[in-house]
Amino acid sequence: MSFIRRLGLRTPTLGALRYPLAGATKRPAVSLRPHFGTAPTRHLRVGASRESALSPAAVPTTPDNATGVQNPDHAEEATTHAVVSTFDLFSIGVGPSSSHTVGPMRAAKIFISDLLHYQLMGRVHRLRVDLYGSLALTGVGHGTPDAILVGLEGDAPETVETATIPTRVQAIHDTQSMVLNGSRRITFEPARDLVFHYFESLPQHSNGMRFTAFDADGTLLATNEYFSIGGGFVVCEQTQVDHGDNLYFRSYDIHREDVPATRKTQDAVVATLPFRNAEDLLQVCRRMNMTIAEVVYENELKWRSPEEIQSRLFAIWDTMDQSIRNGCLSEAPFLPGRLRVKRRAPSLYQKLMRGIYHPTGIGAPGAGPRLTGDTNATASEPTLTPASALPLTSGLRLPYAPGRPRTPKRFILPALDYLSVYAIAVNEENAAGGRVVTAPTNGAAGVIPAVLKYHLEFLSETPQHDVMEFLFTAAAMGMLYKRGASISAAEVGCQGEVGVACSMSAAGFAAVMGGSVEQVENAAEIGMEHNLGLTCDPVDGLVQIPCIERNALGAVKAVTAAQLALNGDGAHRVTLDQVIESMRQTGLDMQSKYKETSQGGLAVNVPVC
């Protein structure tokens, strides 16, 4: 169950959300059925209203009593499973943010698709886009306006040429116009037609946006609202009310009236191995004598052929791997934005390749130099010689007194170095607007690739099998968090992004290292338990500080969590379900200034200039 549903926040009825504006002539609303596989279409409201009535001062807000807030009943909660497709959780997109870049781009493209479907495109003369809540507060730093403009011109995050985005956006600003859907040039003045509501949020979600189309006379042709809920998912009334939690959209041109019923049937088939929470998942694994990855794979088989599953999963991994490579080999000295953050992955990678650090990972054959105290010990076989028995260093005076400055020592921890450089590379690529995989979000896109890359490079003996087992296992954990809490920093802070990615990675790493399902669940629990309360306070609204380093720490913490779980027998006091519920409650209690608004924490204490 999504975070929205757990709060009982249902999208209001059509009448509650849509105005009429002053002097508007009402027309029958056109109900758009949801598109299978991508961002939603709520209800495209078609009406006659003068453009002058839609000035910023005249735009009415949704009344508080129109939210329809109510607590979800237990019967509904008991029947809503967590199963969604792995390819809904892992999707190829562009940086720097899944909720602020990928989601808005998808929403814009869906709105254009709807205009085409209802034969309104030829009448559109002007568009207006209103951004609310976190999208307004940190949208510029997250690339939200640029993503929306590109989406309105007909591009999708999966296929857009990332290198062309800056020049295309600049052309829109220079000409005060855009090519709608790549075919129709219309007037668009970003300073007038992109409206930021910094101190207002739509009641359904903090990442709300409204698209409105006008004809040449200023008459309102159509309007729609979308909510970017994290991970590139976009929802609206149809997805929340008509079908619950498992209907999310990632295609742009399907308008069949039977799509919701088709997706319901599909979900019912998938539910042959349903699980609502971690305990359910463990019971399924025990009953069917399956691993967690096998359960997820079995569900995917109800949707796709084995060949398609493998092809799509390796396309995801190839994109992850390419983002690591692009980040490590980048020649750009700085990341975009006025913070002037220096790229670190290229220099860190060069040091590793020059052999400054040991070229193999901890635990690999022959790993590690000798340790002090026993000339026969290696890094994987440390000695337990008491410190009191070790010879005193000749330069140390007793009692201790400060001596000459020492030459900095190099840590002999190659695993940490590789994990860090891989994660930093991905997130620097993400911060630069490059192509990455939402895993489960863009802000946390470096954790899973870093841990999986390290395993494949230094530990794996069956790389193809391990890619599938790792990603399927991680996906199962992501499903649990998506249903039980949230993967959106705008809802629960960074615990919903890097925290979830750490938990997913820990589970995946434990699985490919041969852990039992109980150990895998324990690894996921440890990974999140020590990320509870993690805030999202990006400096200057950019996905750079502290996001990039935080991904490196998330990757290291994931491996540590898996190691702790693998060294146990799977029995543990705190369950994953308890941690997920704790995370949800912590997110509810967290002040909004720590939820991707750049109004607290580092964002207000680190000077920008």
Residue by residue, DSSP assigns 533-596 as: T--B--GGG-S-TTHHHHHHHHHHHHHHHHHHHHTS-S--SS-HHHHHHHHHHHHHHS-GGGBS
pLDDT at 388: 52
Q: Is residue 558 part of a domain?
A: yes
pLDDT for the residue numbered 247: 36
587 lies in a domain?
Answer: yes
Report whether 144 contacts 131 (CB < 8 A).
Answer: yes
Mean pLDDT, range 227-231, rounded to an integer: 86
> How many domains are contained in the chain?
2
Residue 77's pLDDT band, with cuts at 50, 70 and 90, is: very low
Alpha-carbon distance 271 to 348, whole Å? 46
Question: Is the same domain home to 152 and 217?
Answer: yes
CATH number, domain containing residue 192 = 3.30.1330.90
Q: Decide if 291 contacts 517 (C-beta within 8 A).
A: yes
Give 182-212 as a 3 state SS string.
Answer: CCEEEECCHHHHEEEECCCCCCCCCCEEEEE
* DSSP line for 437-504: EESS-STTTTHHHHHHHHHHHHT-SSHHHHHHHHHHHHHHHHHHHHHHS-S-HHHHGGGGTHHHHHHH
Q: Are 113 and 236 in a shared domain?
A: yes
Nearest C-alpha neighbor of 158 from the set 230, 117, 105: 105
Does 307 share its domain with 206? no
Q: Are 334 and 450 in a shared domain?
A: yes
**Rounded (5°) CA angle 288-505-570:** 50
Domain end (from 220, 239, 270): 270
Say if residue 232 is in the same domain as residue 142: yes
Q: CA-to-CA distance for 87 and 311, rounded, in angstroms?
A: 11
Distance CA 409, CA 580 (A): 40
Same domain? For 259 and 190 the reply is yes
Last residue of a domain, one of 232, 249, 270: 270
The number of angstroms, rounded, from the C-alpha of 468 to the middle of its chain's C-alpha atoms is: 20
Judge whether 522 lies within some domain: yes
Q: Are 112 and 181 in contact (CB under 8 A)?
A: yes
Tell me which residue range forms the domain holding 461.
Answer: 278-351+414-605
What CATH number has the domain bearing residue 331? 1.10.4100
What pLDDT was estimated at residue 106?
93
* Residue 231 predicted with pLDDT over 90: no
Q: What is residue 48's DSSP assignment?
A: B
Whole-number Å distance between alpha carbons of 94 and 160: 8
Closest to 453 measured CA to CA, from 347, 562, 317, 353: 317
Residue 428 lies in a domain: yes
Report the C-alpha gap between 435 and 157 in whole angstroms.
9
398 within some domain = no
Q: Say whether both 53 and 192 belong to one domain.
A: yes
Looking at 26-40, 172-186, 363-377, 407-421, which range is the least confident one? 26-40
- The tokens describing 463, both together, are 């790389």
Pairing mode of beta strands 30-31, 43-44: antiparallel
Q: Which residue has the tokens 């985005």?
A: 165
> Does the pLDDT at position 331 exceed 50?
yes
430 and 560 housed in the same domain: yes
User: Higher model confidence: residue 607 or residue 315?
Assistant: 315
DSSP strand pairing (91-94 vs 184-187) = unpaired
Q: Which range (142-146, 383-387, 596-600) has the least confidence?
A: 383-387
Lowest mean per-residue pLDDT among 391-400, 559-568, 594-603: 391-400
Whether 452 is covered by a domain: the verdict is: yes
- Cα separation of 143 and 136, whole Å? 11
Kindly give the pairing relationship between strand 233-235 and strand 435-438: unpaired
> Roughly how many angstroms between the first and final C-alpha of the chain, as a whole number?
42
pLDDT in tens, 450-496: 999 999 999 999 999 999 999 999 999 999 999 999 999 989 999 99
Looking at residue 69, its pLDDT comes to 31
For 74, other C-beta atoms within 10 Å of its C-beta total 8
pLDDT digits (tens, 9 = 90+) for 268-311: 444 578 999 999 999 999 999 999 999 999 999 988 999 999 99
- Whether residue 171 is found in the same domain as residue 210: yes
Lowest mean pLDDT among 43-52, 53-62, 129-138, 555-564: 53-62
For residues 242 and 32, give the distance between their C-alpha atoms in angstroms, rounded to a whole number: 12
Q: Looking at the structure, do residues 147 and 56 belong to the same domain, yes or no?
A: yes
Residue 607's pLDDT band (cuts 50, 70, 90) = confident
φ, ψ dihedrals at 113, nearest 5°: -60, -40
pLDDT at 243: 35
DSSP 3-state assignment of 304?
coil
Do 213 and 305 reside in the same domain of the chain?
A: no
Contact 212, 223 (CB under 8 A): yes
Q: Which of 234, 250, 270 is the last residue of a domain?
A: 270
DSSP 133: T
Proportion of the chain in helix, strand, coil states, percent, rounded to 5: 50, 10, 40
Query: Is 365 inside a domain boundary?
Result: no
Residue 177 domain-assigned? yes
Same domain, 288 and 246: no
Query: Between the ranges 53-62, 72-81, 91-100, 120-129, where is the mean pLDDT highest?
Result: 120-129
Q: What are phi and psi of 208, to 5 degrees?
A: -105, 150
